[in-house]
Amino acid sequence: MASNGSSGYNTPDSTIEGVLPIHPTSVRRPSYITVQSENTSYDDEHITSKFYNRGANVTLIDGQFTVAPRVQEYEFRTKRAVSKTGIMMIGIGGNNGTTLCATILANRHNIIWHTKEGVQQPNYIGSVLRASTISVGTDASGKEVHVPISDVLPMVHPNDLVLGGWDISGVTLDKAMERAQVLDYDLQRQVVPHMTLLGKPLPSIYYPDFIAANQEGRADNLIPGNDKQAHLDHIRADIRKFKGDNDLDRVVVFWTANTERYSDIIPGINDTADNLLNAIKISHSEVSPSTLFAVAAILEGEPFVNGAPQNTFVPGAIELAERHKSFIGGDDLKSGQTKLKSVLAEFLVNAGIKPLSIASYNHLGNNDGRNLSAERQFKSKEISKSNVVDDMVNANRLLFKAPEVGPKGVAIGKGEHPDHIVVIKYVPAVGDSKRAIDEYYSEIFCGGRSTINIFNECEDSLLATPLILDLTILTELLTRIQYRKVDEQREFSPLYSVLSLLSYMLKAPLVKPGTDVVNSLNRQRNALESFLKACVGLESNTDLLLETRIW
């Protein structure tokens, strides 16, 4: 959105009402932690660490499990210089996009505002990277020491992100913020001058078959024509221009637009990289807008994150990312109900309690809810929300019978599984304030039953926006990390194209084909913490606390 001359690095304007000294949650920390270890070294360009990945190989013979521990030594190398980073959002004029822009600008310009509870200062509460901590050891007295996650490795500060993107609606971003009805009026009033500088979204692409018909009235800001190859070229040019105009090192392209219907996977069309590129050339009807944006980012060598539930990453898109060693991540922001479900379902199963049914009901009144009122778009959301308990169930076959095994050793079906029902209804009156109701009905000791009911009300976009920040910042960091296996004596290589370390913030995590999906929130968080520690040569998290259990 730099066409109006905004660099995205504005300094606070003392003429604008509400400017105060920087709030503690926005303060720039001068450095990150330093590890003194033979496993960690620092030079002007890189942090290099050794890490021992410990696991075990298991074999089953005649009902007897044999476990053989294994160790693989890795080296990680992290570029210390943080990239000057921009985020280009598809759907920047929606609730999430305008809320992200406004809250970054409020933090950047230190704007305070009045609510009925009193004076509110800007912050990044809800961001895992900016508002949570990680244990790095104990001090001289034996007390555990926690530091902000953003202090483990050098990361982009949210205030420094350069903002831009596309939208099918041509409403200027200040007016789009007003339309969204998410933020307090006094904040909107004060941030308008800064939002005005961002101007109007770039024209986007609109293929009516992929989103609900009720969105047609918003579609007045479109790249002309129906030629999907021309659309791809146009989007690639937009990315290059945005990057050049703002002198950026990195652009993260982020889908935060409407949920699309699922794309059919068609052999010869989107099953391979070459077939997908050819399908774009012939403007095949099954190439979705989100897949087209993903391909544009991949071909430009910039990361693409899908914040909606549709299957943007068809097999051809994943293969194309692998070919170009570009980074992709998704799917669907995990902000409230599903995040809680991944915790509570794991608690029940790990406690030896057997969930028999999980029934979830949602109603919301924002434009996302309006789009999801269409059956095909709801189906995408239902799929992303329904698979969240699968890995917990598969981990405990004492409670749930395993699937039958076919003649060639292939599992038949999913085996025993809780009934899992998801309902979403559009209720305009509640606006962005989503209501979520869940019932967990479980079997307990000797045929007993337990029912847990949860009612959750949340301002949807205020939970989702920090996730967009985290996904963007973490993605930029992962582009600066390389690895090698020590015993192979090879050069450092980038991480695999599918960034599964983003899973903590996503409902339906995209993983490397052929590997298991982890939905457990605790395991996802532990994986993220352990990886960040590995990059500075620290051991993985442990709650053994052996020193408290021995003489």
Q: Which pLDDT does position 444 carry in this prediction? A: 96
Q: Are 227 and 283 in contact (CB under 8 A)?
A: yes
Q: Are 442 and 456 in contact (CB under 8 A)?
A: no
**What is each CA distance from 485 to 43, 62, 241, 482, in whole angstroms?**
21, 35, 38, 11
Output the six-digit token pair for 476: 């930029």
Q: CA 332, 244, 313: angle at the middle one, nearest 5?
A: 25
All residue ranges of the chain with pLDDT < 70 are 1-31, 371-374, 377-386, 408-409
Give me the helices (H) in 4-131, please: 95-108, 128-131
Residues forming beta bridges with residue 222, ordered by sequence position:
204
**Segments making up each domain of the chain, as ranges:** 2-25+82-333+463-500+528-534, 337-459
Output the six-digit token pair for 79: 């570029």
Tell which residue, 323, 540, 466, has the closest CA to residue 25.
466
Active site (catalytic) residues: 332, 381, 434, 507
Q: Which pLDDT does position 540 carry in this prediction? A: 82
- What is the widest separation between alpha-carbon atoms in the chain? 78
DSSP code for 271: S
What homologous superfamily does CATH list for 2-25+82-333+463-500+528-534? NAD(P)-binding Rossmann-like Domain (3.40.50.720)
In the numeric block, the tokens 């308008």 are attached to 192
Helices 228-245 & 273-281, crossing angle to 10 degrees? 100
Tell which residue, 517, 367, 469, has the closest CA to residue 160.
469
CA dist 499 and 481 (Å) reads 12
CA dist 213 and 354 (Å) reads 41
For residue 79, the surrounding DSSP H or E stretch is strand 64-79
Q: Which pLDDT does position 17 carry in this prediction? A: 35
CA dist 418 and 420 (Å) reads 6
Q: Which pLDDT does position 387 carry in this prediction? A: 78
Q: Are 289 and 205 in contact (CB under 8 A)?
A: yes
Mean pLDDT, the chain, as a whole number?
A: 89
Q: Which CATH architecture has domain 337-459?
A: 2-Layer Sandwich (3.30)
Tell which residue, 66, 159, 27, 104, has the closest CA to residue 465.
104
Tell which residue, 146, 169, 122, 130, has the closest CA to residue 12.
122
